[in-house]
Amino acid sequence: MNTKKPRFLLSYLASSAMLLSSTSAVPTAIDYRPQAVELVSKMTLEEKASLCSGGTMWTTKPIERLDLPSITLTDGPHGVRMADLNSGMNALHASLPATCFPTAPALASTWNLELLQEVGEALGQESQTHGVQILLGPGTNLKRSPLGGRNFEYYSEDPLLSGTMAAAWINGVQSKGVGTSLKHFAANNQEWERMAGDSIVAPKALHEMYLRSFEIPVRIAEPWTIMCAYNKVNGEFASQNKTLLTDILRHDWGYEGIVLSDWGAVDDRVKGVKAGLNLEMPSTGGYNDRKIVAAVQAGELDESVLDQIVVDMVAITLKAHAGIQKDATFDQAEHHALARRVAGEGSVLLKNENATLPLSEKRDRKIAIIGEFAKRPRYQGAGSSQVNPTQLDNSFAELTEMLGSAQSLSFAPGYDWEGDTTQELLNEAHQTAQKADHAIVFIGLPDSYESEGFDRASLELPQGHNLLVESVASAAKRTTVVLMNGSPVAMPWVDQVDAIVEAYLGGQAGGGAIADVLTGAVNPSGKLAETFPQRIEETPTYPNFPGRDRTVLYGEGVFIGYRHYDAKDIEPLFPFGHGLSYTTFELSNLELSSQSIDAESTLEVKVTVKNTGSREGAEVVQAYIDENNPEAPRPVRELAAFKKVFLQPGQSQTISLQLGRDAFEQYDAERDTWIVRSGEYTISLGNSSRVLPLEDTIALDGGNLPLPPITPMSTFAEVERHPTGKPIYDNFIAQMQGDQPKLEDLELSPDEYAAAKKGRETMLVFLREIPLKKLVMLSQGAFTEEAMLGIIRAVNSADSE
């Protein structure tokens, strides 16, 4: 592999308050490797092997004679799910109370890196309180399909947004002396056959999309651990994939932490050690430890390789224990308030016709609250990330407390917890809506519709929810829909309602945050981190999701999410980056630092943002890049930078975004490296991927690209592209054509002339495109193997000079 590249600049991050490295007050920045080397030198073979697997469901093994302690790990991405360590497998369902923050889609919808770091800091403090040394998160897999069962655990369909959100979260947690575990590495994008499926991903898509969302947080935030996925990647299980775990992760990205397995992801433990897997979780009762010992004794595993795996493991153990804060506590009320603030900022106002929201005390005196979720919210996903909240808000109670004395609330459940309804429930809701000035319908996806362990069957909401919305909309003067779901849904009633709030799975304080948004206490500023399609048939992976028969073909390449909808000119229901506000904004005065740059320069992009409305609010400025004349199909545009700006009414602010080399790079599979192509690029700015009112172009000099070496499988067309190969190609063609007469000198009818001309052109194309090795076999001695090897040596040696 030769994927090494400069450390990600992402210099626009430097203009924000987000820390680019953890600033811990505890001594976790010390290099514990020398101490680890000394300890490992004193271990027996059996002790070394024992450290390669967990001691229990949630802890590693200690070595008491060397005073090496164990460490505790626990889920998860949006809350500390500290399990009862004495309950074995039951610990999957029993945990201590902790703050349940909004899930990843809501966090990503804030587009606020500082806020993500603040959430991470709170999670780190709660981890210290509960005695956790490694918090298993965040999840940064991309949303290849809206039907992915664990999409509620992942941030986005875009690797830049996903990777920077993960980096901020990691920096926050690790600033408290607690490690993180970036997961699930890699190409883990479906639940169907997740422990056996093979993700077949072309190099370009793998590097530009599915690995980049990991590379960004690895380079910026340096997570202590990385969790490998269950699945295979291009034929090899992630838990024993040397290309992933060593060649890319450690050699190319410079990663110095440890890799642990997802629970039960190990296939061949000895092969995993060789590939770079440090820790198998959970405990296997010594089953695989004995295999490691036997492999060393049989000479199948070099003990020095095992030593390196164990040194890394011991170093992280020492680091984790150095960070422990004795008698740590956290303020539950303070963290609940933070969760409410995050959920409010992550709520996305999808639609707001005629200023239906916020609620008006004069206009909306009688308000009908309809839907079971208003009193019994769906606030988090199901599976290993499920948190036992310290408290739980619901929107009905919060609205009752917040609304003025002149306003009254009525309620109708509309459906049961599973989303089923009856004519009686629909009639009750219809009549309740008729009597109100404004009906607010709470709907979404029940736990049985999306969860770890299975993928969604469709984009559809429960039928009972759709019937309820249609019934209420036909009766109410004004109808608002509040959605509680972990991933995009179809909205057949979208034109029948006045306003839509996407609240996602808002955590334990989500009910209060929704009330804040509805009443205007919070001005919504969330932007979608994923595209909402109109129909499943229009999604990138349809109809090949999920991949079956243990094979998952990523045939869409880099064209997932908005890249797909833009390339095929499909109008989505709501585009990536979309989100409305109760105020208005204007972008103006786009200014580029230069109209011409080279690959190593940084382009400064300035733009003025003005709040032109009457309320304070926040706008997310999004910058996209488009290569105007690509050599091969490329996305119409790709997110390159973003910044959230908070403004008072009438206030303006000029912001600066920095676009470094990484913003223009693309992965070249033929050259097996990252390159920047020369040409013209368009820089577009706006507030969603489909609303980009400002644009300008630059000329980019990418320099001389390295030409791929010639091999026996190269074609003569590839030989011709090399400076020294052109005369060789011309000479070869001349020899192959021999003494053929010119067609003009032959007495041919028009039809004969056309046929002969076509035949010669076809032969020329054939000669240009056939691999050299094949031509040796097909030329019957006219082109020998010695001649082929001579061409390869001549071209490659000239290129290396």
Known catalytic residues are 262
Three-class DSSP category at 507:
coil
Q: Let me know if 629 is exposed, middle or buried by CB neighbors in 10 A (0-12, 13-18, 19+).
A: exposed
Edge to edge, the sheet with strand 551-553 lists 236-237, 232-233, 198-200, 551-553
Candidates 642, 511, 638, 603; CA nearest to 157 is 638
Distance between CA atoms of residues 399 and 356, nearest Å: 17
Cβ neighbour number for residue 589 with a 10 Å cutoff: 12
**How far from each other are the two terminal CA atoms of the chain, in whole angstroms?**
22
- 3-class secondary structure for 669-715? CCCCEEECCCEEEEEEEECECCECCEEEEEEEECCCCCCCCCCCCCE
Three-class DSSP category at 332:
helix
Q: What contacts 8, CB < 8 A, 6 or more positions away? A: 215, 216, 219, 220, 662
Edge to edge, the sheet with strand 366-370 lists 348-352, 499-502, 479-484, 438-444, 366-370, 408-412
Tokens of 800: 């290396």
Dihedral of CA 667/672/676/678: which sign? Answer: negative
Three-class DSSP category at 655:
strand
Pairing of β 673-675 and β 232-233: unpaired
User: Is 696 in contact with 628 (CB distance < 8 Å)?
Assistant: no
* E strands, 201-243, in order: 225-228, 232-233, 236-237
Q: Let me know if 354 is exposed, middle or buried by CB neighbors in 10 A (0-12, 13-18, 19+).
A: exposed
Distance between CA atoms of residues 66 and 39, nearest Å: 7
Candidates 62, 260, 258, 46; CA nearest to 269 is 260
Tokens of 419: 């989303």
Candidates 68, 56, 65; CA nearest to 32 is 68
Tokens of 326: 């004795």
Task: Report cis status (omega within 30 of 0) of the bond before 771.
Answer: no
Paired residues of 771 in beta bridges: 715
* E strands, 263-412, in order: 348-352, 366-370, 388-389, 408-412
User: Is 269 in contact with 286 (CB distance < 8 Å)?
Assistant: no
Pairing of β 673-675 and β 666-668: antiparallel
DSSP 8-state secondary structure symbol assigned to residue 442? E
